[in-house]
Structure 1
Amino acid sequence: MSLTRDQLVRLKLEVTGHAVYASRISLVLALRLVGHPADTSAVLHEIGSLEGLRPATRAKPPQQFKHAPLAPLWHKHFFSPRHLLRNIGERWNLARGAGNRDLDVALSEIAAQHGDDPAKWPSVLVHRLNVGGLEERAHAQRLTGDWIIFAKRDGENYYLDLATHEEAEGPANSERLMQKLQAGCQSEFPFLF
């Protein structure tokens, strides 16, 4: 695929809704947003928040990577509906399988409050675990999802790509993620690498 500079500028402006930061998103990210329209508004909302154009969201705050080779870069979580189950699982510690005192307490409270009406338990339990768990994570600004990977340079953010948590787990995955970022963004933003 080949784009002229004018086509590249127009594409980025179109994808971002003519945002002031359009020139600081990579072509890779712009194309990813076109290809995944369900995530576009969530990603652009988080970027708007990072740029100070929108209020902060309930997703986790931005963090700089701690280990090489990703250490100079940052990531910001974005939350979209496809991340709902992951957040509920995180709230109740379901993925780790180690048990959860909060879950035990919730079950005990439901039994105490509705012990005389066991037919009510399933709907109360589903509501408490799903809606309650999600609301609690949102209130604590702990919503998780995938990442917007960005770099900071001269007081501005440059938005490179999206990634999952798993793409940065461990040294081998971190190296592959950095290679992916370099392959997709280094020619456009060489000063970041």
Structure 2
Amino acid sequence: MLLNLLAYAVIPIYTLVFTYKTNWFSTNFSVIGNLMGRTNFFLCWGILVGGYFYFSLHRIIMPLSKKKRETFLINVASFLLFFAVMIPYLPDQFPVASFLHILFAFSSAAVLTLCLFSILWKFCQANPVIYRPFFIGFLIITAFSVFLLLSSGIISSALEIFFTVAFTVFVRLLLKTVTEQLTISPL
């Protein structure tokens, strides 16, 4: 119930409220969170989203017999997101810190994507009928994310909103399916 509330309401609404009255194609979360006086809002968003993915993905990989790589990737993505929201993005004042912020934020999303690919690959190998639609959905989300990146030329709020909301809902649906298929105790 709590994960449904987070995935279908809290995270999408919080993400949209965070970007309220900004241009989604010419700015991004780092600028909004650090240059527009929304630092605490940005920090809370990072903790909320990072915690959701950390908890949900660990639940998803529970039934895998070999999950060392996926556990590592979940932990790395979570730490990178934590560092990204903790390090300020103020390029005029702290250019090195701002570079690290960008590096950690981008790397967090890339590692999360790699982690989801690895998880889905293993589930598709075990049960392609059930998990192939998830793999196709993952490819569509990833392809549209790349399209948003290429179309605006920057990591824009539009990309970050889409990536966050799409993968939040995606992970919730995947966890629900894994729970139903493998009779993990429901959340």
TM-score bracket, shorter-length normalisation: under 0.3
More strand by share: 1
Flag the structure with larger Rg: 1
TM-score, length-normalised on structure 2?
0.25
Q: Which has the higher contact order (CA 8 A, sep 6+)?
A: 2
Could you state the TM-score of these two structures normalised by the residue count of structure 1?
0.24
Structure that is richer in helix per residue: 2
